[in-house]
């Protein structure tokens, strides 16, 4: 009887196809781990100066992340065009100008369009620095202004897997307003450019068919992705770079002072965009966790197996082989963060967000710091995980906020102060 039960249980595990390591949320249970050396090249050369970093080590790390985690993203399509759909010079009670810009990636305005919502402060006398970000559920959720277009999005019902293309309900207008301090940004002399995730890729396993990945795959005459082709996070990061392309021709914006920012999965996308695209002058990760700022080898919170199983579309095919095998990764996330150097970087955690491993996010920033030191820059400037609500750092900013997985006014207040210092906001 016992044997039958054992065989039955074993059968269940095999049937599920995965034997997942349980998720650890107890600090005392974190096993020891060894991180790959940041400043040693694949051929054993030690990196002791900025030039070797920039010309040798940095490209080699970037390549590893492309081939083993995020996949290789295409460049800007030659056929990409855009047009202003509408413009309101008296938005937010006269505080800002609100523009909607539609971007097409295929010839003759073909392919899934990307909608940019751009706010610029009216009080500005000269081009302003800008925050660029992907929002989760639509541009209309960022602010309740009735003039923001609610555009169609592909969604999938979790249970029935039924897909539909529809305009989100009017009552979702402004639903994420608490995560976007638009008025504060305007008052502080910053612009905000945001795009919606479903335009680049609806966030479910087969969503790529309706996004830029599917469009460009078909254009290339292919049916399947190569194991090192980009995933959904790659597509969202790509959208951030394409938004920056557009901003370069916006007179009200100084695209040389662009901060790329994102929360959670969009924090992962912001880090990946900032790592690849050196035009981003500042990179901000808000609670990005596993696959973002948090160290993969530190066994705390979400694991590689968890993320690959729940979100198989986020990373490239090659990344699947690291499920529950973090120690075999040819890199760790501190090396992704280091790709931002010498540009300023801000990593933020939330104390109750154990799934994202707040301490692992801090340690990742700490282990990335030697890259900034090569440029004579101070980095974090502390060795110990700071107490809650105590921002630290100079060229690498960090805080762990009281509370849950979210973006709050407290987080934005730190980002604005950090941006003032590092991107020189001029009103
Ligand atoms: C979770 C996921 C995390 C994080 C989060 C989010 O379900 O496990 O990696 O990205 O979603 O994006 O809110």
Question: What pLDDT is attached to residue 20?
Answer: 78
Task: Classify the C-alpha dihedral 32-34-35-37 as positive or negative.
Answer: positive
H/E element, 373: helix 358-373
Residue 226 lies in a domain: yes
- 367 counts as catalytic: no
Residue 11 lies in a domain: no
- The per-residue pLDDT for range 193-246, each reduced to its tens digit, is 999 999 999 999 999 999 999 999 999 999 999 999 999 999 999 999 999 999
Question: What pLDDT is attached to residue 392?
Answer: 98
Q: Is the CB of 210 under 6 A from ligand 1?
A: no
Residue 230 lies in a domain: yes
Atom index in ligand 1 nearest the CA of residue 302 equals: 8
Contact criterion met (CB below 8 Å) for 74 and 216: yes
- 264 counts as catalytic: yes
Query: Which of the 8 DSSP states describes residue 190?
Result: -
CA–CA distance, 287 with 351 (Å, rounded to integer): 10
Question: What pLDDT is attached to residue 15?
Answer: 46
Residue 6 lies in a domain: no
Omega before 400 cis (within 30°)?
no
Atom index in ligand 1 nearest the CA of residue 290 equals: 9
- The one catalytic residue among 318, 323, 327, 405: 405
Residue 295 lies in a domain: yes
Res. 7 pLDDT band, cuts 50 70 90: low
In degrees, rounded to 5, the angle at the alpha carbon of residue 241 between the alpha carbons of residues 252 and 129 is: 30
Query: Domain containing 346: what range?
Result: 63-149+173-423
Q: E strands within 305-377?
A: 345-350
Question: Which of 57, 406, 64, 66 minimizes the C-alpha distance to 238?
Answer: 66
Q: At what angle do helices 265-276 and 232-247 cross, to 10 degrees?
A: 60
The string over 216-243, giving b where at least 16 C-beta atoms fall within 10 Å of a residue's C-beta and e elsewhere, is: bbebeeeeebeebbbbbbbbbbbbbbbb
Question: What pLDDT is attached to residue 21?
Answer: 86
Give the number of other Cβ atoms within 10 Å of residue 324's Cβ.
15
* Percent of the chain clearing pLDDT 90 (strictly above): 94
What CATH number is associated with residue 350? 3.40.50.1820
Residue 99 lies in a domain: yes
Q: How far is the CA of 159 from the centre of ligand 1 (A)?
A: 19
> Mean pLDDT across the stretch 244-262?
98
> Mean pLDDT across the stretch 353-358?
98
> Mean pLDDT across the stretch 3-28?
66
Question: What pLDDT is attached to residue 369?
Answer: 98
Res. 82 pLDDT band, cuts 50 70 90: very high
- The per-residue pLDDT for range 115-156, each reduced to its tens digit, is 999 999 999 999 999 999 999 999 999 999 999 999 999 999
Residue 42 lies in a domain: no
CA–CA distance, 71 with 212 (Å, rounded to integer): 14
Which residues, in sequence order, are bridge partners of residue 128?
253
* 302, 305, 354, 356: residue to mutate for ligand 1 pocket, most atoms within 8 A of CB: 302
CA distances, 300 to each of 184, 230, 296, 355, 407 (Å): 35, 27, 9, 8, 22
> Mean pLDDT across the stretch 294-304?
98
Question: What pLDDT is attached to residue 270?
Answer: 99
Atom 13 of ligand 1, residue of closest alpha carbon:
264
Q: How many domains does the chain have?
A: 1
In degrees, rounded to 5, the angle at the alpha carbon of residue 130 between the alpha carbons of residues 347 and 115 is: 105
- What phi and psi values does residue 285 have, to the nearest 5 degrees? -115, 120
Question: What pLDDT is attached to residue 74?
Answer: 98
Residue 160 lies in a domain: no
> Mean pLDDT across the stretch 402-419?
98
């Amino acid at each position: 009887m016992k044997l039958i039960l054992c065989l039955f249980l074993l059968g269940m595990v095999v049937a599920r196809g995965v034997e997942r390591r349980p998720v650890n949320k107890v600090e005392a249970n974190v096993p020891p781990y060894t991180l790959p050396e940041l400043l040693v090249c694949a051929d054993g050369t030690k990196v002791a100066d900025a030039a070797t970093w920039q010309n040798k080590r940095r490209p080699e790390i970037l390549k590893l992340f492309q081939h083993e985690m995020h996949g290789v993203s295409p460049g800007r399509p030659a056929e990409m065009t855009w047009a202003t759909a509408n413009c309101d010079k008296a938005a937010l009670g006269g505080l800002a100008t609100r523009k909607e810009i539609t971007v097409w990636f295929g010839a003759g305005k073909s392919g899934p369009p990307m909608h940019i919502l751009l706010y610029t402060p009216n009080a500005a006398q000269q081009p302003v620095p800008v925050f660029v970000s992907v929002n989760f559920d639509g541009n209309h959720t960022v602010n309740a202004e009735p003039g923001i277009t609610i555009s169609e999005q592909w969604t999938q019902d979790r249970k029935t897997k039924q897909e539909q293309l529809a305009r989100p309900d009017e009552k979702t207008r402004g639903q994420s307003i608490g995560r976007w301090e638009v008025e504060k940004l305007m008052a502080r002399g910053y612009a905000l450019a945001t795009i919606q995730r479903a335009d680049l890729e609806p966030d479910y396993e087969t969503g790529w068919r309706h996004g830029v990945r599917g469009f460009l795959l078909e254009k290339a005459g292919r049916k399947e992705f190569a194991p090192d082709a980009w995933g959904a996070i790659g597509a969202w990061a790509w959208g951030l770079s394409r938004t920056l392309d557009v901003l370069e021709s916006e007179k009200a914006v100084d695209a040389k002072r662009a901060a790329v920012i994102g929360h959670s999965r969009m924090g992962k996308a912001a880090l990946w965009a900032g790592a690849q695209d050196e035009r981003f002058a500042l990179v901000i990760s808000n609670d990005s966790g596993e696959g973002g700022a948090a160290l993969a080898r530190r066994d705390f919170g979400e694991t590689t197996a968890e993320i690959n199983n729940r979100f198989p579309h986020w990373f490239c095919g090659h990344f699947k082989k690291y499920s529950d095998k973090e120690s075999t990764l040819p890199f760790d996330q501190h090396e992704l963060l280091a790709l931002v150097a010498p540009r300023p970087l801000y990593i933020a955690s939330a104390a109750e967000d154990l799934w994202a491993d707040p301490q692992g996010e801090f340690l990742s920033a700490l282990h990335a710091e030697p890259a900034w030191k090569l440029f004579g820059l101070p980095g974090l400037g502390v060795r110990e995980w700071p107490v809650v609500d105590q921002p630290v750092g100079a060229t690498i900013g960090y805080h762990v906020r009281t509370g849950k997985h979210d973006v709050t006014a407290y987080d934005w207040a730190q980002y604005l102060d950090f941006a003032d210092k590092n991107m020189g906001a001029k009103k």
